[in-house]
Amino acid sequence: MDAALRQFVRRRADNHCEYCSLPQEREPLIFHIEHILPRQHGGTDTPANLALACHHCNLRKGTNLAGLDPETRVLTRMFHPRLDDWDEHFTDDDGEITGRTAIGRATTHLLRMNEGGRLELRAGR
């Protein structure tokens, strides 16, 4: 993956984590260029398979493709930043991310978006 492609992904995401919406400026660790479909599952370096992710989201996502909806315990695919609309699946209330849909709930839960100080970091506190 070359520097131009990395820069393209960062710009397309407006320097926000495409999962939890954290802006890069609030996080000292440089965000990762993440494979939406992990390489382990055949994912490639094409722009359509890449997303910008904070280290917290990327490390928890790992090679997961799905998670359990904490409300129904039904296996549900992860949020896909290229195919899904963030506002359809999540709300951000002063930094607290809540899933609006099964996909949003499963992704919020799997990535533990509101744990470990992430909520405060997003809210700028």
Nearer to Zn ion, 13 or 37 (CB): 13
Indicate whether 57 belongs to the interface with Zn ion (CB under 5 A).
yes
Indicate whether 78 belongs to the interface with Zn ion (CB under 5 A).
no
Judged by DSSP in three states, 102 sits in: helix
Among 54, 102, 106, 119, binds Zn ion (CB under 5 A): 54
Indicate whether 13 belongs to the interface with Zn ion (CB under 5 A).
no
Nearer to Zn ion, 22 or 102 (CB): 22
Stretch binding Zn ion (CB under 5 A), from 19-27, 61-69, 83-91, 97-105: 19-27
66: left (phi > 0), else alpha (psi -120 to 50), else beta? beta
71: left (phi > 0), else alpha (psi -120 to 50), else beta? alpha
The answer to whether 90 and 74 are in contact (CB under 8 A) is no
Nearer to Zn ion, 4 or 125 (CB): 125
DSSP tag of 28: S
